[in-house]
Amino acid sequence: MSFIENLGYTLLGFIIIVSVFLLILAIIEKKLLIRLIKGRTSRNQLYIDKISKLDINKPKESLMVLNSTTKNFFKEAFHISGTLEYSEFQRIFKQKNNKKAEDFSRKMTNYLYSNKTITTPEIQELIRLIAEIISSNKIIDKEERKRLDQRSLELDKSRDSRKIHIPGIGKKKLKNKKKDSQED
């Protein structure tokens, strides 16, 4: 009788251990799935999702949310540090020749710092413009940057290996330049 009772307790213990193990595996799987889904959505998509949830029927509140979201995007996408105003963003984008971002910054400066109230069509235009900017300026995370840097190094090496060296051609140009500089 004791053997059968002990066998029951042993099986019960074994079942409990397997159940706990399966529970731990289910939790790990769920966390990995969440991480995978987050990894698939790019940073740009998160910003687009955020601005697509704006309530255009409340233009003033939408403008404030759009303001903070856009500043965060500009800082992350264009690697700008500090707390900048749109007039400073406008100057930076003019230097970088980014006309859409410059135009957006000018419009935001106008709406934020003038006493003019923003209308629903105007907030829609701002949302459309920032969505275009976000779509055309991909945020590259550290891992992607490393991969791109590695790939560009590999391409540079392959270009160097394809160069054909013809003896005397590069040296003739240098000799001619030296003669010209000595004559002056």
Q: Where are the domains of the chain?
A: 1-40, 43-136
* Nearest C-alpha neighbor of 73 from the set 99, 97, 105: 105
Residues 6+ apart with CB under 8 A from 65: 50, 54
Spell out the residues 6+ positions from residue 140 whose beta carbon is closer than 8 angstroms to its own.
148
pLDDT for 29 equals 92
C-beta separation of 90 from 102 below 8 A? yes
pLDDT, position 161 = 60
Q: How many CA atoms lie within 13 A of 7 on its CB side?
A: 4
Residues with Cβ within 8 Å of residue 95, at least 6 apart in sequence: none
pLDDT value of position 167: 61
For the entire predicted model, the pTM comes to 0.58
d(CA 157, CA 163) in angstroms, rounded, equals 10
Residue 15: its pLDDT value, please? 94
Q: How far apart are CA 176 and CA 148, in angstroms?
A: 40
Q: Which residue stretches of the chain have pLDDT < 50?
A: none
Residues 183 and 134: their CA atoms lie apart, in Å, by 56
**Tell me, what's the pLDDT at 95?**
92
CA-to-CA dists, residue 115 to 65, 106, 149, 166, angstroms: 18, 15, 47, 69
